[in-house]
Amino acid sequence: MIEVDPRQFIIKRKRKLYRFALFANSPLCFELEEWQPGPVDVVELGAGTALFAVEMAAKHPTKQFVAVDVKADRLQKGAYEAAERRLKNIRFVRARADQLDQIVNPFSLQSLWITFPDPFPKKRAAGRRMTHRNFLKQYKKLLKPNGALYLKHDNRDFFAWSLEQLVADRWHIEELTFDLHDTDLHMDYKILTTYEQRWLGKGLTTNFVKATTK
């Protein structure tokens, strides 16, 4: 029989509560009910630690960024990184993907990044995938006429399924690769997320697509 030390769970719970407290105490972090929609240029949806969005915000100080994730204990990491770098053009909102229309005004978004979302591999969970056609229709209502959706993922099956969804919903595929870091595509695309660093270290490649509603 494997013996489990219950103190391990207590320590982990305390650490998680501490990270939630960090989120609550950051002036850059918002619960959905606290958020007041305003000008937003770029959203990272399912942002995790949001270090990708932070790096993008640092490179593009004239644009307004919002990082969205349902887990506050992850978002706070990006928020404190942004605070340390004194970035004024990024905010962090705890919300689900289906609540994005409460964060962004209609037809106002320039770019929507979906970075390494949960692939929900079971067929019965397909409706929860952030690239399901139900979500894609919502994104169309938020993007500007010349706006773009960007997807990065390591799971080839999920990525191929997502491409099928985009085509079926009549998105225009502008850029596509199954090995992003072996291309000469824009360097912004190659900014690493926390998960991407992990997957690349395991020898996986990054699948990438840019799609527009044109």
Mean pLDDT by 10 residues, the chain (214 residues): 47 58 83 91 96 97 97 90 96 96 96 96 94 96 95 96 96 97 96 88 91 89
Catalytic annotation, pick one of 98, 101, 118, 179: 118
* 12 in a structural domain: no
Q: Is residue 190 part of a domain?
A: yes
pTM value is 0.89
CA distance 136 to 146: 15
- Count structural domains, the chain: 1
pLDDT at site 11: 46
Cβ neighbours of residue 187 closer than 8 Å, sequence gap 6 or more: none
**CATH code, domain with 52:** 3.40.50.150
Could you tell me the sign of the dihedral formed by the alpha carbons of 97, 163, 51, 121, in that order? Answer: positive
For residue 207, how many other CB atoms are within 10 A of its CB? Answer: 21
Is 4 inside a domain boundary? no
**5 in a structural domain:** no
Q: Which helix (H) or strand (E) holds 156?
A: helix 156-168
What is the rounded CA–CA span in Å between residue 90 and residue 70? 17
Residue with tokens 């606290």: 34
The confidence score (pLDDT) of residue 186 equals 96
Cα–Cα distance list, 43 to 69, 101, 144 (Å): 11, 12, 13
Written as six digits, the tokens of 32 are 């959905």
Residue length, the chain?
Answer: 214
Q: Is residue 18 part of a domain?
A: no
To the query of whether residue 118 is one of the catalytic residues in this protein, the response is yes
The confidence score (pLDDT) of residue 9 equals 40
The sheet with strand 172-177 has its strands ordered as 29-31, 90-94, 65-69, 42-45, 109-115, 143-153, 207-212, 172-177
199 within domain boundaries: yes
User: 């689900």: which residue's tokens?
Assistant: 96
Please indicate, yes or no, if residue 34 is contained in any of the structural domains.
Answer: yes
Is 173 contained in some domain?
A: yes
> In 26-155, which residue ranges form alpha helices assigned H by DSSP?
51-59, 72-84, 133-140
Residue numbers of the domain that contains 42: 23-212
Q: Are strands 109-115 and 90-94 parallel, antiparallel or unpaired?
A: unpaired
Sort strands 29-31 and 42-45 into parallel, antiparallel or unpaired.
Answer: unpaired
CB 211 within 8 A of CB 166: yes
CA pair distance 76, 94, nearest whole angstrom: 10
Predicted pLDDT at 3? 52
Q: Is 71 helix (H, G, I), strand (E, B) or coil?
A: coil
